[in-house]
Amino acid sequence: MAEDLHIETGSKADKYRALLPQLKSLLAGETDQIANLANTAAALKETFDFFWVGFYLVKGDELVLGPFQGPVACTRIRRGRGVCGTAWERAEALLVPDVDAFPGHIACSSRSRSEIVLPLKHADGTVWGVLDIDSEHLGHFGLIDLRFLEEIIQLL
Ligand code: SME
Protein backbone atom coordinates (compact mmCIF):
# COMPACT_ATOMS: atom_id res chain seq x y z
CA MET A 1 0.00 0.00 0.00
CA ALA A 2 1.00 3.61 -0.23
CA GLU A 3 2.56 4.86 2.97
CA ASP A 4 -0.49 6.75 4.07
CA LEU A 5 -3.57 5.66 5.96
CA HIS A 6 -7.19 6.18 5.11
CA ILE A 7 -8.81 6.86 8.47
CA GLU A 8 -12.49 6.05 8.67
CA THR A 9 -14.82 8.44 10.42
CA GLY A 10 -17.35 6.73 12.67
CA SER A 11 -17.28 4.46 15.65
CA LYS A 12 -14.16 2.96 17.19
CA ALA A 13 -15.08 -0.41 15.68
CA ASP A 14 -15.46 1.22 12.22
CA LYS A 15 -11.98 2.70 12.59
CA TYR A 16 -10.46 -0.63 13.63
CA ARG A 17 -12.24 -2.39 10.73
CA ALA A 18 -10.82 0.14 8.24
CA LEU A 19 -7.36 0.03 9.78
CA LEU A 20 -6.92 -3.76 9.86
CA PRO A 21 -6.59 -4.51 6.12
CA GLN A 22 -4.40 -1.45 5.60
CA LEU A 23 -2.08 -2.46 8.40
CA LYS A 24 -2.04 -6.03 7.13
CA SER A 25 -0.80 -5.00 3.70
CA LEU A 26 1.66 -2.49 5.17
CA LEU A 27 3.24 -5.14 7.42
CA ALA A 28 3.12 -7.92 4.82
CA GLY A 29 5.66 -6.10 2.67
CA GLU A 30 8.29 -5.92 5.40
CA THR A 31 10.14 -8.59 7.39
CA ASP A 32 12.04 -6.33 9.81
CA GLN A 33 10.35 -6.57 13.20
CA ILE A 34 11.32 -3.13 14.49
CA ALA A 35 10.05 -1.50 11.28
CA ASN A 36 6.73 -3.30 11.66
CA LEU A 37 6.36 -2.47 15.37
CA ALA A 38 7.15 1.18 14.57
CA ASN A 39 4.53 1.40 11.82
CA THR A 40 1.93 -0.37 13.99
CA ALA A 41 2.47 2.15 16.81
CA ALA A 42 2.26 5.03 14.32
CA ALA A 43 -0.89 3.66 12.65
CA LEU A 44 -2.68 3.26 16.01
CA LYS A 45 -1.61 6.73 17.14
CA GLU A 46 -2.70 8.32 13.87
CA THR A 47 -6.05 6.52 13.77
CA PHE A 48 -7.13 6.95 17.39
CA ASP A 49 -4.91 9.73 18.71
CA PHE A 50 -4.18 7.65 21.81
CA PHE A 51 -2.04 9.47 24.39
CA TRP A 52 0.71 6.84 24.22
CA VAL A 53 1.02 3.69 22.16
CA GLY A 54 4.05 1.49 21.92
CA PHE A 55 5.89 -1.71 22.56
CA TYR A 56 8.08 -3.08 25.32
CA LEU A 57 10.29 -6.02 24.36
CA VAL A 58 11.44 -8.87 26.63
CA LYS A 59 15.20 -8.72 27.18
CA GLY A 60 16.38 -11.07 29.93
CA ASP A 61 14.31 -10.45 33.05
CA GLU A 62 13.08 -7.02 31.93
CA LEU A 63 10.89 -5.33 29.40
CA VAL A 64 12.82 -2.69 27.45
CA LEU A 65 11.17 0.20 25.65
CA GLY A 66 10.69 -0.42 21.92
CA PRO A 67 9.07 1.58 19.12
CA PHE A 68 6.39 3.96 20.39
CA GLN A 69 4.46 7.15 19.70
CA GLY A 70 3.81 9.70 22.42
CA PRO A 71 5.72 11.35 25.25
CA VAL A 72 9.04 9.91 26.44
CA ALA A 73 8.52 6.87 28.67
CA CYS A 74 10.22 4.63 31.24
CA THR A 75 12.80 2.45 29.52
CA ARG A 76 12.88 -0.69 31.70
CA ILE A 77 10.13 -2.60 33.52
CA ARG A 78 10.76 -5.71 35.64
CA ARG A 79 8.71 -8.87 35.21
CA GLY A 80 5.60 -8.63 37.38
CA ARG A 81 5.91 -4.85 37.84
CA GLY A 82 3.25 -2.38 36.70
CA VAL A 83 0.59 -3.22 34.17
CA CYS A 84 3.07 -4.21 31.45
CA GLY A 85 5.16 -6.45 33.70
CA THR A 86 2.01 -8.10 35.07
CA ALA A 87 0.62 -8.76 31.56
CA TRP A 88 3.98 -10.36 30.72
CA GLU A 89 4.06 -12.50 33.90
CA ARG A 90 0.47 -13.67 33.50
CA ALA A 91 0.77 -13.92 29.69
CA GLU A 92 -2.66 -12.32 29.44
CA ALA A 93 -4.17 -9.04 28.30
CA LEU A 94 -5.07 -6.46 30.96
CA LEU A 95 -7.71 -3.77 30.73
CA VAL A 96 -7.17 -1.11 33.39
CA PRO A 97 -9.99 1.45 33.51
CA ASP A 98 -8.33 3.47 36.29
CA VAL A 99 -4.55 3.21 36.61
CA ASP A 100 -4.64 4.66 40.15
CA ALA A 101 -6.62 1.60 41.23
CA PHE A 102 -4.03 -0.83 39.83
CA PRO A 103 -1.54 -1.83 42.55
CA GLY A 104 2.01 -1.08 41.43
CA HIS A 105 1.06 0.87 38.32
CA ILE A 106 4.14 2.59 36.91
CA ALA A 107 3.29 6.22 36.20
CA CYS A 108 5.52 7.16 33.27
CA SER A 109 3.18 10.14 32.86
CA SER A 110 0.74 11.55 35.38
CA ARG A 111 -1.57 12.25 32.42
CA SER A 112 -2.17 8.55 31.79
CA ARG A 113 -5.51 7.53 33.39
CA SER A 114 -6.43 4.20 31.80
CA GLU A 115 -4.64 1.60 29.73
CA ILE A 116 -4.75 -1.67 27.88
CA VAL A 117 -1.80 -4.05 27.58
CA LEU A 118 -1.62 -7.16 25.41
CA PRO A 119 1.17 -9.73 25.52
CA LEU A 120 2.89 -10.66 22.25
CA LYS A 121 3.52 -14.41 22.14
CA HIS A 122 5.62 -16.84 20.17
CA ALA A 123 3.87 -19.93 18.78
CA ASP A 124 4.88 -21.86 21.94
CA GLY A 125 3.10 -19.32 24.16
CA THR A 126 6.19 -17.55 25.54
CA VAL A 127 5.88 -13.78 25.67
CA TRP A 128 8.36 -11.74 23.59
CA GLY A 129 6.91 -8.30 24.27
CA VAL A 130 3.80 -6.29 25.07
CA LEU A 131 1.67 -3.72 23.29
CA ASP A 132 0.84 -0.91 25.74
CA ILE A 133 -1.74 1.79 25.00
CA ASP A 134 -2.47 4.62 27.42
CA SER A 135 -5.26 7.18 27.51
CA GLU A 136 -5.69 10.49 29.30
CA HIS A 137 -9.32 9.48 29.95
CA LEU A 138 -10.65 7.09 32.56
CA GLY A 139 -12.22 3.89 31.23
CA HIS A 140 -11.15 4.60 27.68
CA PHE A 141 -10.65 0.96 26.64
CA GLY A 142 -13.08 -1.92 26.42
CA LEU A 143 -13.87 -5.20 24.75
CA ILE A 144 -13.95 -3.61 21.27
CA ASP A 145 -10.33 -2.54 21.71
CA LEU A 146 -9.38 -5.92 23.11
CA ARG A 147 -10.97 -7.79 20.23
CA PHE A 148 -9.43 -5.72 17.44
CA LEU A 149 -6.03 -5.29 19.07
CA GLU A 150 -5.84 -9.10 19.43
CA GLU A 151 -6.26 -9.24 15.64
CA ILE A 152 -3.65 -6.55 15.10
CA ILE A 153 -1.00 -8.28 17.19
CA GLN A 154 -1.52 -11.49 15.22
CA LEU A 155 0.01 -9.57 12.28
CA LEU A 156 3.28 -8.97 14.13
N1 SME B 1 1.93 2.29 32.62
C2 SME B 1 2.80 1.22 32.38
C3 SME B 1 4.22 1.71 32.21
C4 SME B 1 4.52 2.07 30.82
S5 SME B 1 4.00 3.63 30.41
O6 SME B 1 2.61 3.80 30.67
C7 SME B 1 4.36 3.98 28.83
C8 SME B 1 2.76 0.14 33.42
O9 SME B 1 2.35 0.33 34.58
O10 SME B 1 3.14 -0.95 33.06
In tens, the pLDDT along 70-113 reads 999 999 999 999 999 999 999 999 999 999 999 888 888 889 99
* Residue 6 included in any domain: no
* Residue 7 included in any domain: no
Q: Looking at residue 2, what is its pLDDT?
A: 59
As for how many domains the chain has, the answer is 1
Q: Looking at residue 6, what is its pLDDT?
A: 87
The CATH number for 39's domain is 3.30.450.40
* Residue 38 included in any domain: yes
CB distance 67 to ligand 1 below 6 Å = no
Structural domain span for residue 23: 12-154
* Residue 21 included in any domain: yes
Q: What are phi and psi of 120, to 5 degrees?
A: -105, 125
Q: Looking at residue 129, what is its pLDDT?
A: 98
Distance between CA 133 and CA 68 in Å, rounded? 10
pLDDT at 1 over 70: no
Q: What are phi and psi of 47, to 5 degrees?
A: -75, -45
* Residue 3 included in any domain: no
- CA angle, corner 47, sides to 126 and 29, nearest 5? 60
CB distance 146 to ligand 1 below 6 Å = no
* Residue 1 included in any domain: no
Spacing, Cα 12 to ligand 1 middle (Å): 23
CB distance 36 to ligand 1 below 6 Å = no
The residue whose C-alpha atom lies closest to atom 7 belonging to ligand 1 is 73
Helix (H) or strand (E) holding 12: helix 12-28
49 three-state secondary structure: coil
Spacing, Cα 131 to ligand 1 middle (Å): 10
Distance between CA 79 and CA 6 in Å, rounded? 37
User: Which of 63-72 are b and which e, b meaning 16 or more Cβ less than 10 Å from the residue's Cβ?
Assistant: bebbbbbbee
